[in-house]
Chain A
Amino acid sequence: MPWDMRDLRRQVAIIGAAESDQLGIVPDKSAVQLHVEAAWNAMEDAGVKKDEIDAVFNAGNTLGMAEYMGITPKLTDSTAVGGSSFVIHLGHAVAAIASGYVEMALVTHGESGRSRVGAGGFGGGGDQWYGWQGSAGPPASYSMACMRHMAQYGTTHDDLAEIAVATRKWAQLNPRALMRDPMSFEDYHNSRWISYPFHLLDCCLVTDGGGAYIVTSLERARNYKKKPIAVLGFGESHTHGNIAQMPDLTWTAARNSGPRAMQMAGVDHKDLDVVNLYDSFTYTVGVTLESLGFCGPGEFGQFVKGQRTAPGGDFPLNTNGGGLSYTHTGMYGMFATLEIVRQLRGECGDRQVKDAKIGLVNGTGGSLSSTGTAIMTNQV
């Protein structure tokens, strides 16, 4: 390990501390406003500029608060374990700063506990401005992004079909996959519209399931049963909470998290043997391929052409069958991660990528809001 916990002593300090303008009974301010006032006052107290903040912490929704304040963090932590959360956040921040992962963390709280103005499990900073548009959840958000990509770059339904069909072929090799019937291009184009431009077969499954992984030092890892899969690099970022606040619907925060992960890992695109990209929708895969730099902006259609990502193709992608055909509980990132571990352990049977040594997983959360990229290896 690079450091002992004792090495963290006197390494990290609190430099700003403040409360909202008023406390007590504040009937004219919402929980979100109290949050942001406190944040503003703490930065004023410290003399810190907003752009210096690279880590955001709160007990519940860092997407919404960072969106409200216009912060794109390198570390996001919305650990919510009750009133103790903010003490726990401090420990997380100390570890992150001491390790060099980030430099400046903002931990916030705000609640309209008495007046109940926008209180209790606040959502995005702007939640009161949505709802009357008739949003139908993730398909509506992601289909708008896809439409923008189509209009801007000439992306077609044929491009999206390549992804849906290739992913189904992987699922057919996975006995645990929910959808294993063959899917033709015609099946894709004939599937009903959900939120135009999305067909049904652009959309992930809705399933039940669970997943978990355990992490320890590589040194300790050698004492246990399975071959350790070492983490080489990781990165995280988010750009917004609600799709209406996304800076540009044709790229995601993977533009931030991907390069950080690769730089930390010391690997390049060509070094990756297997890649799992969160596939809530076909478009999620396409926009992530571009955002991670596997191809240029607007080029994912060309990249996936000819079933390049299917079994037997030269770019093994979403080898478990993905959220599109394997399983999707609503938070698929766990399953994408586990599949990279299984591939690197060589446990994947018919769908095993031969001699896979380095794998990348990219999760996408919210409304194309947040991304996490991790790179792993079995070369330890």
Chain B
Amino acid sequence: MPPSGGGELWIKRCKDCGQHHYYPRVVCPNCFSRNVEWVKSSGKGSLYTYNINVRTAPGWENNPNYIIALVTLEEGPRIMSNLVNIPFDQDPVKMAQHIQVGMPVEVTFEELSEEISVPRFKPAGS
């Protein structure tokens, strides 16, 4: 388990080849070494791509037009998350005007329960 919970994003790094990966594994997906360690991510990255979900997944009815995002972390790995802090509009085309593929983003945590908080991403500095 990573050494810390709340408010920090931890990923894995291979001590042999130096490459980071996410999701965390017991082997390095690059060189297959089992010599992998937990390291704290800066939580900064860039928006690799996104979508705007007008048709919502079950349980997401109260989050109209939620955005799923793939973020490339500074350390290299890509993480699937949500993009938040984007002004809502019924029309996804208007929301998309606030979003640029490649723009800098940073992690922000949402507590789902006392035990679980999840990393979402917002435009850097917002």
Contacts and interface: CB of A to CB of B under 8 A. Distances in A.
A349 interface: no
B118 interface: yes
Contacts of A144: 49-51, 68, 70
Interface stretch (B2-10, B24-32, B37-45): B24-32
B86 interface: no
Interface in A337-351: none
A126 B23 contact: yes
Given A33-B26, A70-B29, A196-B92, A134 B59 contact: yes
The number of chain B residues touching the other chain, given as a range, is 35 or more
Interface in B55-112: 55-57, 59-60, 63, 66, 68, 70, 78-82, 92-93, 95-96, 100-102, 112
Contact of A195 (B52, B59, B63): B52
A148 B56 contact: no
Nearest to A132: B118
Nearest to A192: B54
Nearest to A67: B29
A198 B96 CA distance: 13
A185 interface: no
A244 B70 contact: yes
Contacts of A125: 23, 25
Given A126-B23, A140-B68, A151-B102, A196 B52 contact: yes
Contacts of A135: 57, 68, 80
B68 A69 contact: no
B89 to A, nearest CB: 11
B50 to A, nearest CB: 6
A129 interface: yes
Contacts of A195: 51-55
A134 B80 contact: no
Contacts of B23: 125-126, 128-129
Given A135-B68, A147-B49, A151-B49, A244 B78 contact: yes
A244 B101 CA distance: 16
Nearest to B30: A70
A238 B55 CA distance: 28
A125 B27 CA distance: 12
A147 B25 contact: no
Contacts of B32: 40, 43, 49-50, 69-70
B26 A196 contact: no
Contacts of A196: 51-54, 92-93, 95-96
Interface in A109-133: 125-126, 128-130, 132-133
Contacts of A97: none
A177 to B, nearest CB: 24
A179 to B, nearest CB: 19
A136 B61 CA distance: 11
Contacts of B95: 196
A315 interface: no
Contacts of A70: 28-30, 32
A142 to B, nearest CB: 9
B34 interface: yes
Interface in A66-88: 67-70
Given A70-B30, A244-B70, A134 B54 contact: no
A40 B35 CA distance: 12
A139 B51 CA distance: 10
A242 interface: yes
A261 to B, nearest CB: 27
A49 B48 CA distance: 32
Of all A-B residue pairs in the complex, the 4 with the closest CB atoms, nearest first, are: A70-B29, A151-B101, A244-B80, A196-B92
8 contacts: A50-B31, A69-B27, A69-B32, A129-B80, A133-B80, A135-B68, A195-B54, A243-B70
Interface of B: 22-23, 25-32, 34, 48-57, 59-60, 63, 66, 68, 70, 78-82, 92-93, 95-96, 100-102, 112, 118
Interface of A: 33, 36-37, 40, 43, 49-50, 67-70, 125-126, 128-130, 132-137, 139-140, 143-145, 147-148, 151-152, 192-198, 242-245, 249
Given A70-B29, A129-B23, A134-B53, 16 more contacts: A36-B25, A40-B32, A49-B32, A125-B25, A129-B22, A132-B112, A134-B66, A136-B55, A136-B56, A140-B53, A140-B68, A144-B68, A144-B70, A194-B55, A195-B55, A196-B95
